[in-house]
Each structure stands twice: as C-alpha cells, then as structure tokens.
A = this chain, B = another copy of it.
C-alpha cells in the first residue's frame, strides 16, 4: 500500500529547489539557506486532525480534509509571520475504507495546490493503515524573516487590536476552504511595526485572552467594531441567537489577531494593504482580562468563550 502511494507521490509532487532528498529515503533533506538574507531561524509547528473531531469523512471530500490540515499548519506559521518552507505529512488511514490509497491521494490532492501557492515543499511523510479512524498529522517548517518571529507576548497597553477578515460562523464552510493568511502576515510584518500576533483558531475572545496572558496585559473590545461574518449572521438568524457571540466564540476563523501602536494600526486600516481587510476591534490595556465596550459606552467584563481542546 505504502509503496503504491509513494510511487504516485514521486510522480506527482513538484520538484522544489530546496529539497535535496525527498520521498523514498529514511528522511527528507532540505538545503540550508546560505545567507542571512535567505533565511532566519527555523519555525516549526504540528497539528493533527482526526475524523469525527475536526472533520467528518462521511460529509467532506478527502481533498478538503487535506486542504484544511495543511492550511491549519500554514496558519500557525502565518501567526509567527514566518515564511513556509516545507511540510511533512503523516497519515493513519482506516483499513475499513473501501480504497485507502485513493483516500490518501485525495488528501494529497487537497494539499498540493496550497503547497504550490505558498512555494512549500511536501518533503515526505509516513503512511500507515490501521483499525482506527483517519488521522492526518502535518508538521510545517518555515523561516523567520529579518524582522524575527511575531510573538503573542509582545503586546503593550495602549496597542490597538486588529483582526483580519470577518469572524464567526466558520462551521458553515470557511473552516474547510480557508486560505491561511500567510501572505498577509508576511506583508504586514514587513511593512508595519507589529507588536504581537497570533491566528484565531478557538474564537476571538479565547485567543485574545491567551495573547493577553502571554503579554501580561488586559484588553478592551469594542462591541460595535467586531467584523461579524455573514455566516455568523445567518447562524444567529436561524437559531435566534446572537451574531456577536458567534464572532467571539466560534472556532476555526483562521484569521490574524494583531496588535500595533494605535497610529500604526490606523495607518494599516487606511492603507488597505490586504484584500481581506483589517479592522481595529479594541485596545490592549493595563491589568488583565477582557472588557467589552458596548454600544452605549458602558464597559463590562467579557468572559472568554471558545473552543477548549
């Protein structure tokens, strides 16, 4: 089984200039960048997705599962403002599947266009059949730029808080087909004086609370400023719920959460440097915890809610 898949991958995977040894040996060899300009420190992240938890193989085509798993890892590199270099892929394929090799091909078919888009080598992997459900484990490698990594811990009281795109309602489709904000993060990190950043995977309020803890600050969010996605509005309309709660708490937005000095943030919004849009949603503050500034100017404590793993 693995041999058949490896043969297919050898024929299918594009060549990558940095990949000295690809599939077929015990490990992959990726050329060292020869100058500081070419590459900074190594950034590495890993993420496993499992059938029944992160996707339902009965409802989703394998290529979207592959896309999602690679995209989630690239989103973690974007969160560090790192340039992706290579990924390795580890599959546990269900023996009960009618055609495990076709399943694996489908997964890779979803990863290939995304890897190509971000000039990322699929450097190797491991493929097993087993009696459990499908798991897809991806490890992504990247390089910091000359600006260094963008960390969660750099925010300062008074910083403006920005988010890319729109939030909430990812479950209706965005969680599968999103494009990670790699290009946006690199551009913004290069062009503006960002203080802190991460990607929003478990809901704005929960992830912002993590950024607050890492930076030793609190944060105030403006109720009226939150960019609520159309999907969140639709979910709220259908359930009679609250669209803002979806924007605060829904998982898997995979948008960027950034902080920068207020005047920098205002320039970032005015310049329109990225197509997905940037919105100032509040400010970092002294102290700790989240505060919500409501439409009528009141401030109330905001309990972080979102997806706890």
User: How many identical chains are in the complex?
Assistant: 2
Q: Are A137 and B90 in contact (CB under 8 A)?
A: yes
Q: Which of B24, B32, B139, B198 contacts A40 (CB 8 A)?
A: B32
Q: Are B26 and A199 in contact (CB under 8 A)?
A: yes
Q: Are B25 and A44 in contact (CB under 8 A)?
A: no
Instruction: Give Cα A28 to B28, complex, Å.
Output: 20
Instruction: Give Cα A198 to B20, complex, Å.
Output: 17
Instruction: Give Cα A76 to B21, complex, Å.
Output: 14
| A153 CB-CB contact with B under 8 Å | yes
Q: Are B29 and A80 in contact (CB under 8 A)?
A: yes
Q: Give chain B residues whose Cβ lies under 8 Å from the Cβ of A47.
A: 90, 126
Q: Are A80 and B42 in contact (CB under 8 A)?
A: no
- In the assembled complex, 23 residue pairs joining A and B whose CB atoms fall closer than 8 Å, in A order, are A1-B308, A2-B308, A25-B79, A25-B152, A25-B214, A26-B77, A26-B79, A26-B199, A28-B43, A29-B43, A29-B149, A31-B42, A42-B42, A44-B86, A44-B139, A46-B88, A46-B89, A48-B92, A50-B132, A53-B130, A129-B309, A135-B135, A141-B141
Q: Which of B46, B123, B142 contacts A126 (CB 8 A)?
A: B46
| A106 CB-CB contact with B under 8 Å | no
Q: Are B42 and A29 in contact (CB under 8 A)?
A: yes
Pairs A-B, 9 closest by C-beta atoms = A26-B79, A27-B45, A139-B139, A137-B137, A2-B309, A53-B130, A48-B90, A30-B42, A46-B88
Point out residues on A near B: beta carbons under 8 Å. Answer: 1-3, 20-21, 24-32, 39-48, 50-54, 76-77, 79-80, 82, 86, 88-92, 123-133, 135, 137, 139-142, 144, 149, 151-153, 198-199, 214, 308-309
Q: Are A53 and B128 in contact (CB under 8 A)?
A: yes
Q: Are A45 and B24 in contact (CB under 8 A)?
A: no
Given contacts A53-B130, A132-B50, A308-B1, contact A43 B31 (CB under 8 A): no
Known: A26-B152, A46-B124. 14 other contacts (CB 8 A): A20-B41, A20-B149, A25-B151, A27-B44, A28-B43, A29-B43, A29-B80, A30-B41, A30-B44, A32-B40, A44-B124, A44-B141, A53-B130, A127-B309
Instruction: Give Cα A44 to B139, complex, Å.
Output: 10
Q: Give chain B residues whose Cβ lies under 8 Å from the Cβ of A151.
A: 21, 25
Instruction: Give Cα A16 to B3, complex, Å.
Output: 37
